[in-house]
Amino acid sequence: PFEVLVVGGGPAGAAAAIYSARKGIRTGIAAERFGGQVLDTMSIENFISVSHTEGPKLAAHLEQHVKEYDVDIMNHQRAAKLVPARHEGGLHEVVLENGASLKARTVILSTGARWRTMGVPGEEEYRNKGVTYCPHCDGPLFKGKRVAVIGGGNSGVEAAIDLAGLVAHVTLIEYDSQLRADAVLQRKLGSLPNVKVITSALTTQVDGDGEKLTSLTYKDRNHGTVHQVELEGIFVQIGLVPNTEWLKDAIALSNRGEIEIDARGETSQPGIFAAGDCTTVPYKQIVIAMGAGSTAALSAFDYMIRLPDE
Ligand code: FAD
């Protein structure tokens, strides 16, 4: 069995594996796709101390760094089931989709998340060519330009407020007849001169010139009329879905499906830790996921050295 089994090979999982291996304990990492969301990212400008890098490059560095240690890397392996130990200090079991079963004294879950997409024509084609999901990451790329934010929940309204300070104009589009964000955010939004809010609007299409995004089409749900907004960027803010469907019966999840953790990264099950975008951590970013993965690994080590000898 492993002493630490990490499930997920993004920034959080890679950091957890390195921190564990550096303690000289038997460490394994199983990942569906080593690199995680970073693989889908073009330019990264907020990975502190590296002023600019690209996703695939950072993913390769993550893997290379993990490989410098004695870590058993199981890439292209999807975990399907977690069976927590029956008694404290016992072995947890992770069952892979291919039927194999991995046993470990501690488990670190770092399966990340995926952005909810609109599922409209053009969205995929213009992804990273104007369509984006992360205002913290890509906001500055649209300095002085016109953008739309899709979604009037807290994240959409926060994004609109954030972007209004950077871009020329923000159009916020909400499907419902009213915004769902906290009142204090809505008040702040209402005070900004370069933001226009459109409610009861269904985005139906994203258009471009083949190279980059040029406009968005929406349907007015009250009148059935179709409108076009010319712009350079679209920030889709309709939710981040944690990859935790397979954990429902094993550990406590929040009502959004995020793994509930404490400040040490421990879940509701002793000996099972979690880190990164799959958890209740308030912000989802690379440096934050790496810090959380390191925390979880150190906590797993602390947990193990306190276990009584068998
Ligand atoms: P992830 O990166 O999501 O990794 C999850 C890992 O778990 C993957 O290896 C995945 O294959 C694996 N996995 C999932 N389910 C299973 C399973 N059942 N079994 C086994 N393995 C599984 N952040 C920044 O800080 N700066 C940026 O510029 C930036 N730009 C971004 C651009 C885009 C397009 C996207 C999508 C995200 C961006 N982010 C950025 C956010 C950043 O990528 C994430 O916060 C970070 O990758 C989270 O790391 P993680 O390890 O928690 O999860």
70-79 residue pLDDT tens: 999 999 999 9
Instruction: Say how far apart CA 265 and CA 261 lie, in whole Å.
Output: 5
In terms of residues, how long is the chain? Answer: 310
Per-residue pLDDT reduced to its tens digit, 186-201: 999 999 999 999 999 9
Q: Per-residue confidence of the chain (310 residues) as pLDDT tens digits? A: 999 999 999 999 999 999 999 999 999 999 999 999 999 887 899 999 999 999 999 999 999 999 999 999 999 999 999 999 999 999 999 999 999 999 999 999 999 999 999 999 999 999 999 999 999 889 999 999 999 999 999 999 999 999 999 999 999 999 999 999 999 999 999 999 999 999 999 999 999 999 999 999 999 999 999 999 999 999 999 999 999 999 999 999 999 999 999 999 999 999 999 999 999 999 999 999 999 999 999 999 999 999 998 6
Mutate to test the pocket of ligand 1, among 18, 41, 44 (most ligand atoms within 8 A of CB): 41
Residues whose CB is less than 8 angstroms from the CB of residue 270 and which lie 6 or more positions away in sequence, other chains included: 88, 303
Q: What pLDDT sits at residue 220?
A: 98
Tell me the binding residues for NAD(+).
146-160
Taking the model in full, what pTM does it have?
Answer: 0.90
Distance 113 CA to ligand 1 centre (A): 6
Identify the residue whose C-alpha is closest to ligand 1 atom 34. 41
Q: What are phi and psi of 13, to 5 degrees?
A: -65, -40
pLDDT at 50: 96
Q: Whose CA is nearest to atom 8 of ligand 1?
A: 36
| Residue 125, pLDDT score | 97
Q: Which residues line ligand 1 (CB under 6 A)?
A: 7-13, 30-34, 36-38, 40-41, 44, 46, 78-79, 110-113, 115, 133-134, 137, 243, 246, 276-277, 284-287, 289
* Cα atoms in the Cβ-side hemisphere of radius 13 Å centred on 170: 31
Looking at ligand 1, which residue's alpha carbon is closest to its atom 12? 8
Q: Name 6's bridge partners.
A: 29, 108
- Give me the pLDDT at residue 202, please: 97
Q: Is 295 exposed, middle or buried (0-12, 13-18, 19+ CB in 10 A)?
A: buried
CA distances from 279 to 66, 157, 184 (A): 22, 22, 26
Question: To which residue do tokens 């029956």 refer?
Answer: 86
Tell me what pLDDT residue 310 has: 66
Which residue has the CA at smallest separation from atom 9 of ligand 1? 9
Long-range contacts: 220-224, Cβ < 8 Å, 24+? 221/175
Predicted pLDDT at 40 = 84
Atom 26 of ligand 1, nearest CA residue: 137
Short-list 102, 114, 85, 116, CA closest to 7: 102
Q: Which atom of ligand 1 is nearest to the CA of 79?
A: 19
How far away, in angstroms, is 47 Cα from ligand 1 center? 14
